[in-house]
Amino acid sequence: MKEAFITFKQIGTIRTPYYNNAPYQPVDQEEDSFFIEIHGDYVDGLNDLSKFSYAYVLFYAHQAQGRAEMVVSPPWAKGKKVGLFSSRSPVRPNPIGLSVVRIKEIRENMIFISGIDVFDGTPLLDVKPYIKDLDNKSDANYGWLDELDDKDHLTLHIKGIPHEH
Amino acid sequence: MKEAFITFKQIGTIRTPYYNNAPYQPVDQEEDSFFIEIHGDYVDGLNDLSKFSYAYVLFYAHQAQGRAEMVVSPPWAKGKKVGLFSSRSPVRPNPIGLSVVRIKEIRENMIFISGIDVFDGTPLLDVKPYIKDLDNKSDANYGWLDELDDKDHLTLHIKGIPHEH
């Protein structure tokens, strides 16, 4: 089967305090240090978004380097090797990142959000509402993470929650 | 701010029984009529994915036609107008579709899933595990959908559940 290429465009920029390194997953912060600036043409598209508690942010993981390997060993997973598509590694055939963020406030072209695991300047591809009935799967599980001895500890890393070792 | 363009590639194909029209959101089906075929190079990346109950499927909504309008009136919303980014309309600046699907079984290069709201032949961009702690937001809400008189009925449409009017 031949590969088809598809072109998308940057529609905004994600602003974070992470200039050199990012946590592996979102950390919630008190301050307004995480926000999304959307390009001017798209501002009217933000109407009503603040009525949702959460949104999906899709972004181009532009700092993900290298060729995607199909078997990966996620950080903190203590050497366990798993298939790439069962991981959230940013180094993928298509480096499209996905995070669920809490919407705090929308002002003009800026969406203030809870923490997100990306570098400052990350290109925005899309924002979608997280709708309770569609997206909240109460019977979701932890997949292979359940097989790890210290899953509870690992979960803190995955969620980016600071803790002592 | 100038627009930057980003190129992604098709990594597989979504197979559904929807040749001419698709429901607005996933419908679960008994049979194996919904599956994802992933291109051969990526098969090893599916390891361990079957340990998860749910996955995110990212796809190119290739049949979404026309220029994205920033204010939309979703089907079934009885004329209510909302901002595009507070809707799941496929006609967006970047027509990247996102669905949460239940993983039924993985055989070779095929992921058998619960229903998904796309046409047969839809290009696959990515598959990611849906991880309970990260993605299951029990305090998510319905946003502007709560303002509709017949939200409960509308929710059936959104979820693609067949019902009598």
- More reliable by pLDDT, B99 or A149: B99
Burial class, B145, CB count within 10 angstroms (exposed 0-12 / middle 13-18 / buried 19+): buried
What are the CA-CA distances from residue A35 to residues A25, A43, A62, A67, A118 (Å)?
A: 16, 14, 18, 30, 11
Calculate mean pLDDT across residues B135-154. Answer: 87
- What's the pLDDT band for A66 if we cut at 50, 70, 90? confident
Residue B146 forms part of a structural domain: no
Contact between B46 and A123 using a beta-carbon 8 Å cutoff:
no
Residue of chain B nearest A42, judged by CA positions: B70
Q: Which of A6-15, A23-32, A35-44, B121-130 has the lowest mean pLDDT?
A: A23-32
Question: What is this structure's pTM?
Answer: 0.91
Find the CATH number of the domain harbouring A46: 2.40.30.70
pLDDT band at B125 (very low <50, low <70, confident <90, very high): very high
Q: Tell me the percentage of chain B whose pLDDT exceeds 90.
A: 64
The answer to the question of residue B154 being in a domain is no
The residue of chain B with its CA nearest to that of A92 is B126
The mean pLDDT value of chain B amounts to 88
Give the integer Cα–Cα distance in Å for A33 and B52: 33
Query: Which CA distances in Å does A145 have to A35, A47, A133, B44, B151?
Result: 30, 38, 25, 18, 37
Contact A8 B3 (CB under 8 A): no
pLDDT of residue B151: 78
Of the listed ranges A124-133, A145-154, B155-164, the one predicted with least confidence:
B155-164
Question: Is residue B45 assigned to a domain?
Answer: yes
Q: Is B50 a domain residue? A: yes
Residue type, B124: L
Judge: A45–B84 Cβ closer than 8 Å, yes or no: yes
* B129 falls within a domain: yes
Encode pLDDT of B6-52 as tens digits: 999 999 999 998 887 655 555 555 568 899 999 999 999 999 999 99
User: Residue A68: what pLDDT?
Assistant: 95
Contact A58 B145 (CB under 8 A): no
> Which band of pLDDT confidence, cut at 50, 70 and 90, is reported for residue A28?
low
Strand pairing partners for A100? A56
Question: How far is it, in rounded angstroms, from Cα B77 to Cα B27?
Answer: 19
Judge whether B147 lies within some domain: no
Is residue A1 domain-resident? no
Q: CB A131 to CB B145 under 8 A? A: yes
Residue B85: pLDDT band (50, 70, 90) is very high
Per-residue pLDDT, averaged over B126-143, amounts to 94
Q: Name the residue with tokens 């532009």.
A: A62
pLDDT of residue A74: 84
pLDDT higher than threshold 90 for residue B121: yes
Q: What is the dihedral of CA A144, B130, A29, A153, to 10 degrees?
A: -10
- Residues A80-135: tens digit of each pLDDT: 999 999 999 999 999 999 999 999 999 999 999 998 989 999 999 999 999 998 99
Q: How many domains does chain A have?
A: 1
A155 → chain B, closest CA residue:
B133
Give the pLDDT confidence score for residue A157 in this predicted structure.
72
Contact: B140, A141; criterion CB under 8 Å: no
Q: What is the pLDDT of residue A150?
A: 77
Average pLDDT, integer, range A70-84: 89
Phi then psi for residue B35, to 5 deg, are: -155, 165
Reported as a pLDDT band with limits 50, 70 and 90, residue A21 is: low
Domain, as residue range, for B41: 12-69+92-138
pLDDT on residue B30? 58
Chain A residues within an 8 Å CB radius of B54: 137, 140
Q: Residue range B73-90: average pLDDT?
A: 90
Is residue A165 in some structural domain? no
Tell me the chain A residues in contact with residue B131 when contact means C-beta distances shorter than 8 Å.
Answer: 88, 140, 142-143, 145, 158
Which tops the pLDDT comparison, B3 or B135? B135
Q: CA of B28 to nearest chain A CA: how many angstroms apart?
A: 12
Give one DSSP letter per residue of A28-86, joined into a string: --SSS--EEEEPGGGGGGGTTGGGSSEEEEEEE-TT--SPPPSEE--TTSTT--EEGGG
What would the mean pLDDT of A22-36 be, rounded to a whole number? 69
Arithmetic mean of pLDDT, B76-105: 94
Q: What is the pLDDT of residue A52?
A: 97
